[in-house]
Amino acid sequence: MSRRLLTVLLVVCALAAVTGGSPGVSQQGPSSGAGAHPRADSLLQAGPMVGYGTHREVQLWVQTSRPADVRLRYWSRTTARGDTASPAAIPDPDTATTAVQRTSAEGSHIARFTVSALEPGNTYVYELYLNGQRVERPYPLRFQTQPLWQWRTDPPDITMAIGSCAYINDPTYDRPGNPYGGDERIFRSIAAKNPDLMLWMGDNVYYREVDWATPTMMEARYAHTRRAEALQPLLGHTHNYATWDDHDYGPNNSDRSYRQKDASLRIFKQYWANPNYGRPDVPGVFGKFQWGDVDVFLLDDRYHRSPTGAPRTDDKTMWGEAQRQWLIDALTTSDAPFKLVVNGGQVITPKAQYETGARFPQEQSLLLEALRERQVEGVVFLSGDRHITELLQRRPEGFYPIYEFTNSPLTAGAVTEGKNPNRVDGTLVEQRNFGTLTISGPREDRVLTLRTFDADGGLLWERTIRAQALTVPDDTSEEE
């Protein structure tokens, strides 16, 4: 055998040894065809993320670092008795796979899977395959379908996590000095609470000065934030819903005049998996979903917004007339014991500072008066933006107390805050934090428990609100 032939054979053997298997990547699963593939985990940029979920359908989201074939494999861990089987139990007859999706640069290398015909009240485990190879993740991958409790049992207990203002440092393009973002472990603390879903209440991404002029760089900022390592477990096994505020819409305090607002709306829809966005004739990120017996209304306080500093005329608006009327009608129609209205900025405070609803006094009054005139019960507002956390309460005459749970920031910088006569004592938090809402109790006596936690998951405060306390007083008349 010649020396040249021996050298070729040695090279071929070495290549076979390298490509025969990669540590931590299983060779089982769907095949994407012939040909060599890069190591599967190097193809994953962000996710997978669990999006909306209903009784029989969920949506899942994945982003790859370059073109790849993406497929999911999933199965139920819920037995016929209603309990949960061991994650090692994979009954082949009950295992399903999605169709393959090929990611591309034109689609930001994003694959989105709508998985339907599931069974209600089940917990499903799923696996991710890229180019036919299973991608191992160091945390559970699972989603759930909502239980079919209607006409059968009391509604299930529900826990929602909430937060806003998530700043992921990028030193090259950040403001000079001390890093503005920090404590990214907070995302792992949220995931450790095992909430049913996470409500992202705006400023979920911070566009920088180098970003908001062009859609290309806006997408790059979203991708940078989404691939934060500490964020991945929360995305992978919690249902995620989102609205926006100024920093993930455009520049600071941006409004309807922002020239890239249509690109911003497109990018938001690319990176989130809400069940609906706006209406056919009214663009925006606003929408509604139901979880258990709770209705959640996500508002868009940017796309149609008048400049905050504009004169306080009758037509000055945070939401636009069409969105405001949609909200009022949808709240009127809802029979949920708790109707959660989520807005990027504060809504009910009478303090006309920053970008609060009080800067839009006519619209704030229109909304609160509509709730009273239509006798809409069970409304609770949720908001972010302020870089503080507080629970606000207003008591309209002849009506029930209206609460607003403001929760901020997640990883952006916190600030100090002065007095607010509408603040519930003991609820001001001036550090990075997140919140949860737990709805529990029998159908006729549901209770909402609000909690705030520090970045390590330690409890800071807790308050409870009974649905019965958010009902119209019996002596309230049509004329009042």
Minimum mean pLDDT among 80-94, 106-120, 131-145, 150-164: which range?
A: 80-94
pLDDT in tens, 234-250: 999 999 999 999 999 99
Top-confidence residue, 185 or 86 = 185
Tracing tokens 């303090």 back to the chain, one arrives at 351
Identity of the amino acid at 118: L
pLDDT of residue 386: 97
∠ Cα 52 57 62 (to 5°):
55
- Residue 125 above 80 pLDDT? yes
pLDDT band at 17 (very low <50, low <70, confident <90, very high): very low
Give the mean model confidence (pLDDT) for residues 179-200.
Answer: 98
pLDDT score of 3: 46
Q: What is the 3-state secondary structure (H, E, C) of 425-448?
A: CCCCECCCEEEEEEEECCCCCCEE
pLDDT exceeds cutoff 50 at 12: no
Give the CA-trace dihedral at 295, 297, 298, 301, to 10 degrees.
-160
Pick 402 or 12 by higher pLDDT: 402
Per DSSP, the three-state class of 115 is: strand
- Count the helix, strand and coil residues of the chain and give each as a percent rounded to the nearest 5: 20, 25, 55
What the block records as the tokens of 94 is 């009950």
Q: Which of 68, 60, 190 is nearest to 127 (CA)?
A: 60
Percentage above 90 pLDDT, the chain: 84
Q: Average pLDDT of the chain?
A: 90
For residues 411-423, give the mean pLDDT. Answer: 95
Would you place residue 77 in the very low, low, confident or very high pLDDT band (cuts 50, 70, 90)?
confident
For residues 264-276, average pLDDT:
98
Percentage of residues of the chain with pLDDT beyond 70: 88
Is 323's pLDDT higher than 90? yes
Q: What is the mean pLDDT of residues 268-286?
A: 98
Work out the average pLDDT over 142-165. Answer: 97
Query: DSSP 3-state assignment of 132?
Result: coil
pLDDT at 78: 79
pLDDT in tens, 172-186: 999 999 999 999 999
Flag whether pLDDT at 415 surpasses 70: yes
Per-residue pLDDT band for 307 (boundaries 50, 70, 90) equals very high
Note whether 349 and 392 are within 8 A (CB): yes
Q: In the predicted model, is pLDDT for residue 388 greater than 50? A: yes
Residue range 263-276: mean pLDDT, rounded: 98
Confidence (pLDDT) at 75: 93
Q: What mean pLDDT is predicted for residues 341-362? A: 94
Q: Indicate whether 33 pLDDT > 80.
A: no
Q: What is the pLDDT of residue 41?
A: 87
| CA dist., res. 325 & res. 332, Å (int) | 11
> Comparing C-alpha atoms, which of 164, 242, 162 is closest to residue 206?
164
Confidence of residue 85 (pLDDT cuts 50, 70, 90): low
Asked whether the beta carbons of 90 and 75 are under 8 A apart, the reply is yes
Helix (H, G, I), strand (E, B) or coil at 160: strand
